């Protein structure tokens, strides 16, 4: 299976699709990461709060593919953004993943001491512990602030994005600044309504694909990078098998018409801003 790539604002490359691991239990995670890499995946997305970094690290080793051919991405949580805590969180991430470097480090949320965490992240880049930096859940205002002081530019912003919530305004803002939009909940978290949309189903019939593949292809045709989550190796293989067809402009138009600005993660930003700090986990207790 051949996965196409995007060239980033720092000249490095990322596959046009990666494997998500949110809510995947350690055993399934290890198995799926290993199988996905063997089937051709080269980008694996995890985070401190997913509590599966160790399993991801084991999956990478088990795959037998050399570590330097796999792009490992993880995120630190906002309760760790204070400078000294962020430095420790980055080292702890490397240790749990069982690697001497992380390819992509993201700040998981735009709340709290973002500038301190970014300083620690930039230092990790300079020290050779991290290859590139990104953000997650940042909107235009959050990015404006960050772009005002950063010396290492984020290569991407990982946000909720799918045909029901196409992020046109943020997508345009990011494109102008050479920052890639990486889509979380790319399948609408497996939403049956989205996958059963008439447009999606009829395109699946036309191209001999599954509805999930039509939705994932929509992301790459928009220039977005989807990271569908699954604990099922057969689903992972299926999800990346989307580089042998293209939509016509008219078909792309019918998929664009599905946008209704509907998010599946519904917590309001103001509430989330305070709630996220209650999320304190014993990261090193994971299997």
Ligand X SMILES: NC(=O)c1ccc[n+]([C@@H]2O[C@H](COP(=O)([O-])OP(=O)(O)OC[C@H]3O[C@@H](n4cnc5c(N)ncnc54)[C@H](OP(=O)(O)O)[C@@H]3O)[C@@H](O)[C@H]2O)c1
For the chain, state the CA radius of gyration. 18
Do the beta carbons of residue 229 and residue 183 sit within 8 Å?
Answer: no
Rounded to the nearest whole angstrom, what is the least distance from the CB of residue 249 to ligand X in the complex? Answer: 26
Shortest Cβ 182–ligand X spacing (Å): 8
For residues 177 and 172, give the distance between their C-alpha atoms in angstroms, rounded to a whole number. Answer: 9
The CA distance from 3 to 14, in Å, is 10
Q: Determine whether 224 is an active site residue.
A: no
> Nearer Cβ to ligand X, position 124 or 210?
210
Is the Cβ of residue 184 or residue 224 nearer to ligand X in the bound state?
184
User: What is the closest distance, in whole angstroms, from the C-beta atom of residue 25 to ligand X in the complex?
Assistant: 10
Terminal-residue alpha carbon distance, the chain:
31
Measure CA 40 to chain center.
17
Cβ proximity to ligand X: between 36 and 86 the closer is 36
Decide: 44 and 70 in contact? Cβ < 8 Å. Answer: yes
Where do contacts with ligand X occur on this chain (CB under 6 A)?
A: 20-22, 45, 108, 136-137, 158, 184-190, 212, 227-232, 235, 238-239
Based on CB atoms, which residue is closest to ligand X, 32 or 99? 32
- Choice among 50, 164, 185, 283 that is catalytic: 50
Q: How far is the CB of 160 from ligand X (least distance, A)?
A: 7
Residue at shortest CB range from ligand X: 229
State the Cα–Cα distance between residues 34 and 45, nearest whole angstrom: 13
Residue positions annotated with a catalytic role = 50
């Amino acid at each position: 299976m051949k996965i196409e790539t995007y060239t980033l604002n720092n000249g490095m490359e990322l596959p046009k699709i990666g494997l998500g691991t949110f809510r995947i239990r350690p055993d399934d995670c290890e198995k799926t990461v290993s199988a996905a890499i063997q089937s051709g995946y080269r980008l694996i997305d995890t985070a401190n709060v997913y509590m599966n970094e160790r399993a991801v690290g084991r999956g990478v080793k088990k795959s037998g593919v050399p570590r330097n051919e796999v792009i490992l991405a993880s995120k630190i949580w906002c309760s760790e953004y204070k400078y000294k805590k962020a430095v420790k969180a980055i080292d702890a991430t490397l240790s749990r993943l069982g690697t001497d470097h992380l390819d992509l480090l993201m700040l998981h949320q735009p709340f709290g001491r973002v500038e301190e965490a970014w300083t620690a992240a930039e230092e990790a880049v300079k020290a050779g512990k991290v290859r590139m930096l990104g953000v997650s859940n940042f909107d235009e205002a959050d990015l404006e602030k960050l772009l005002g002081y950063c010396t290492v530019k984020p290569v991407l912003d990982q946000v909720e994005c799918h045909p029901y919530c196409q992020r046109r305004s943020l997508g345009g803002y990011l494109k102008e600044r050479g920052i890639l939009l990486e889509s979380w909940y790319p399948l609408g978290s497996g939403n049956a309504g989205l996958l059963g949309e008439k447009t999606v189903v009829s395109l699946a019939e036309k191209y001999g694909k599954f509805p999930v593949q039509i939705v994932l292809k929509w992301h790459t045709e928009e220039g977005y990078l989807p990271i569908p989550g699954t604990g099922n190796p057969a689903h992972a293989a299926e999800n990346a098998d989307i580089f042998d067809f293209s939509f016509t402009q008219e078909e792309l138009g019918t998929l664009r018409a599905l946008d209704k600005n509907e998010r599946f993660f519904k917590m309001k930003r103001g509430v989330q801003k305070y709630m996220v700090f209650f999320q304190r986990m014993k990261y090193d207790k994971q299997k």
